[in-house]
Amino acid sequence: MTRQSPVTVHDKADPDTVAIRWLGHAVQLLDQRRLPAEEHWLTIEGAAGVAQAIRDMAVRGAPAIGISAAYGVALSARCADESDWQQEVRTAIDQLAESRPTAVNLFWALQRMRGVLDQCQSRTDAVSRLAETAVTIHREDLAANIAMADLAVDAMELKKPCSVLTHCNTGALATGGYGTALGVVRKLHQERLLKRVYADETRPWLQGARLTAWELARDRIPVTLNADGAAAAILAKGDVKWVIVGADRIAANGDVANKIGTYGLAVLARHHKVKFMVVAPASTVDMSVASGRDIPIEERAGDEICQFGGIRVAPEKVDAFNPVFDVTPADLIDLIVTERGVVHTPEMTGMHQLFE
Ligand SMILES: CSC[C@@H](O)[C@@H](O)C(=O)COP(=O)(O)O
């Protein structure tokens, strides 16, 4: 098969950071397990490799998982046998769906790819149409992030610069580019409305320390890293006016599943009268789940807590509980910003009009 030049899905509004590249015969993922020490790109030529990269968190962040999975489906058509291509692509979709349970963007992207597959007449047709659709999903995500940043900054109605606090990594690394909550931070910085962003380190995987701090420092956006346990003391000082986070799945009632620790942060924000905003594309909204209670929450190995940098820090044989997401109830959230518009919670004005 012919090799194509890389498709880089970004435009002028996008900063340098790109984490997913489509080569036509392969997808390249910036290995997020090795950041910030090393910028190492994985080149993956099949769906099984993409599923493994998602499971092992070489690529992570809800939108980035969906985009990578879409490229995985496109690769499965390239690798498929002429006689059994439809079944092979369906099997790849099922395999990708098993990779991580909470971020609904994965299932959203796979469903969209399956819809295209069902219309393909031949393997050649599938190879080109599935690749085109994956690139479209990638491009649309970047465009959604840029639109959300504009909507969010307008909705904040700031009269003067303020500081914000964020959790996990929601930037270019976690998305098709620019970022969701970090896209808002970028826009605030560009509009000279940002004093400083506090980044929770985000135990145990340290997305905040390893990824958010890296992205923001690269773009010269003033960032201060803090231990998760310091968030209460930071909010108590009064300088932070908004907590801004992303989401892995938003239920029909506005409950939000996001990185473990988000719920605690929302409780703290309410206590300190700090506004709480969730920024996520429409592909993160799951109207088929009535409330957060119905969202599957991933639990990962206890070793992620018992070890630090590969060195065991907990006693041998201690039990560890490692849910990697939690659910923030809608009534603790002030705004949910999507590219389709802003939902004011807890009244939920707009949610059904925007998403049904
Ligand atoms: C734009 S990313 C939004 C969420 O996916 C993000 O906040 C998050 O929880 C990521 O979790 P991760 O376990 O790193 O995939």
DSSP 287-299: TTS-SGGGS---B
Is 207 marked as a binding-site residue?
A: yes
- CA 346–ligand 1 middle distance (angstroms): 23
- Concerning whether 248 is annotated as a catalytic residue, the answer is yes
| pLDDT above 50 (res 314) | yes
| Structure confidence at residue 302 (pLDDT) | 95
Q: Is the minimum distance from the CB of 207 to ligand 1 under 6 angstroms?
A: yes
The reply to whether 310 sits in an annotated binding site is no
Nearest CA residue ID for atom 6, ligand 1: 61
Q: Which of 248, 255, 326, 334 is catalytic?
A: 248
Verify whether ligand 1 is closer than 6 Å to residue 105 (CB atom).
no
- Mutation pick for ligand 1 pocket among 168, 185, 215, 325 (CB with most ligand atoms within 8 Å): 168
pLDDT grade, residue 172 (50/70/90)?
very high
pLDDT in the model for residue 14: 46
Can you point out the beta strands (E) in the chain?
20-22, 27-30, 41-44, 162-166, 194-200, 223-226, 240-245, 249-251, 256-259, 275-279, 285-286, 307-308, 311-312, 325-328, 335-338, 341-344
pLDDT (0 to 100) of residue 9 = 61
Higher pLDDT, 8 or 244: 244
Amino acid 7: pLDDT? 59
What is the pLDDT confidence band of residue 17, given thresholds at 50, 70 and 90? confident
Compute, in angstroms, the gap from residue 245 CA to the centroid of ligand 1: 9
Ligand 1 contacts CB of residue 168 (under 6 A): yes
Work out the percent of the chain whose per-residue pLDDT is above 70.
96
Ligand 1 center to residue 260 CA distance, Å? Answer: 10
The residues, ordered by sequence, that sit 6+ positions from 118 with a Cβ below 8 Å of its Cβ are: none
Q: Are residues 20 and 67 in contact, defined by beta-carbon separation less than 8 angstroms?
A: yes
Tell me the C-alpha distance between 24 and 6, whole Å. Answer: 7
pLDDT in tens, 237-283: 999 999 999 999 999 999 999 999 999 999 999 999 999 999 999 99
